[in-house]
Structure 1
């Protein structure tokens, strides 16, 4: 196998692993039912920095210098904005996983590409293909049908999908590599997380510290559990196409959906079936449209 084709294959494999890990994440959070989400978020932020420093060490990658950070203050500021946006998406995602709402998490990441497409048009001047226009239209019908039937907005799904799309948009303007930007994002919010955890401990309000050692480790483990797939994803982006990654991202919400219905016994009623059906149909059109381009790129890579 030519080196370029081998590199693409490895990139595809890394992308698949990253989305598989994200998809299996509800299994981890089942050990933290009704967790204190504020405290869980603080533990994740606090433990993310040492974990990312370990990753830099293992990969033999140099840490960014103070001079590099000062030379690119705009990207540092954008990292701060990205961290706040990600906190909203991650907060709603974690709440869903720890409160029996895995189907909402699945819906959120199924509609995420539709938000991403809309942001690309509004903010980046992207031009939509016929399939993308159809996907956005069908997605809007699916969400609208759910709102009409339930007389309520699917807030969790909209927060997850919308803010994760905003996070992706923000990352496009950050000039640091993915691992560096993720580390900076966590580091900027670490002082706040540390102060919050210290306040909980001093006022005897900490849920994690009042539990067993296993519970404390589970709270701390939320950092590597959420960052490992992100690392695999960052490595995959360098070796494969964004189109392939875009198709593979449906692995994650598909696994969420299967776990919710088969393992967690969440209700999948007729309203959800119709709404998901519209969204799935739109995404199917986009996927079918992208397949010929992916096949041609694979042939080109293999030829070289």
Structure 2
């Protein structure tokens, strides 16, 4: 199997798993979302330990990270943001608001480009502005449809977009970064779980063995798709990853509408139509820009390869050309030539 084909398969699997998690967390409805989140943090570290052992990555890199505030602080900030995102998602799907989760991950790319403008002084192309405009209209329509601003969607979308922005400053690979993130979460989460069990408020051991197994499995449900995503990102262009990312919110939309029977009045349909228009414009612009950059890179590479070969051919074919040209000589790459 080609590396690119394997990368697409890994990426699609990761986003399919993320989509199916909308069905996983409601099985834990006997627990409060905060308790589920705490267990998710605890067992995600256990999952990363298993993955590191299987990958034979070792732990020699970890002490250097923990002793270096410049490396540790961005990871800690990312941990806070992804924790907020995880709680919002668990709360949404556990309270039959999966359509809000779907909306969040549809508009997340638009949030990301907005952060790029505000914090990284990036300039948006015309099509990107159009996509952002459609997204803003969609949020306005959804506000009318829900009777209030869809704060849960905006919370999830903005926290995940900010998480991606902070990760630009994390000087670790995907597996290392996720391991440190779960390590930062571990002690507060474990302390909360112990407190709940000690006070009789916890559900880890009091509901059923299946419930306990699902709480433990939440760590692997969290870590495995992130690991697959990291493997995919190394094998395929970012434009393809950008297309694959819409698998998850599409699945969430179908789960919320068809399985959980959330209401879809006309106003919500109109809102999602604007969301999908924004996604289509965004996706088209991503593909077009990726192709243009690839063409430019190939052209530059061809020009760079042709320039030295021309000089070598002249040196080889012209026996009277001096080895050390004087100040009047020019090379084929010289703009005066």
Aligned equivalents of 1:123 and 1:185: distance in 2?
Answer: 23
Q: Following TM superposition, by how much is the alpha carbon of 1:271 offset from its aligned partner in structure 2, in angstroms? A: 1.5
Moved more, 201-210 or 252-261: 201-210
Show the counterpart of 1:20. Answer: 16
Matches within 5 A, 1:1-304: 6-33=2-29, 35-70=31-66, 72-294=68-290, 297=294
Higher radius of gyration, 1 or 2 = 2
Moved more, 282-291 or 168-177: 282-291
Aligned equivalents of 1:199 and 1:121: distance in 2?
Answer: 43
Aligned equivalents of 2:289 and 2:5: distance in 1?
Answer: 16
Deviations 1:159-208 (A, max 9, x none): 11110001111111100111111111111121111111111111111123
Name segments (4+ residues, structure 1) moved above 6 Å: none
CA contact (8 A) 1:136 1:282 kept: yes
Task: Give the match's secondary structure for 1:30.
Answer: helix
By relative contact order (CA 8 Å, sep 6+), the higher-ranking structure is 1
Deviations 1:7-61 (A, max 9, x none): 2222222111111110111222232235311111111111111210110111121
Task: Give the match's secondary structure for 1:107.
Answer: helix
Aligned equivalents of 2:8 and 2:289: distance in 1?
Answer: 15
Given the superposition, is the C-alpha separation of residues 149 and 96 from structure 1 closer, same or farther in structure 2, using an over 3 Å criterion?
closer
Aligned equivalents of 1:150 and 1:242: distance in 2?
Answer: 34
Please give the root-mean-square deviation of Cα atoms over the aligned residues, in Å.
1.9
Number of corresponding residues? 296
For structure 1, which runs of at least 5 residues remain unmatched after alignment?
none
Tell me the TM-score normalized by structure 1.
Answer: 0.92
CA contact (8 A) 1:111 1:139 kept: yes
For structure 2, which runs of at least 5 residues remain unmatched after alignment?
299-337
Given the superposition, is the C-alpha separation of residues 10 and 72 from structure 1 closer, same or farther in structure 2, using an over 3 Å criterion?
farther
CA contact (8 A) 1:138 1:278 kept: yes
Aligned equivalents of 1:62 and 1:230: distance in 2?
Answer: 19
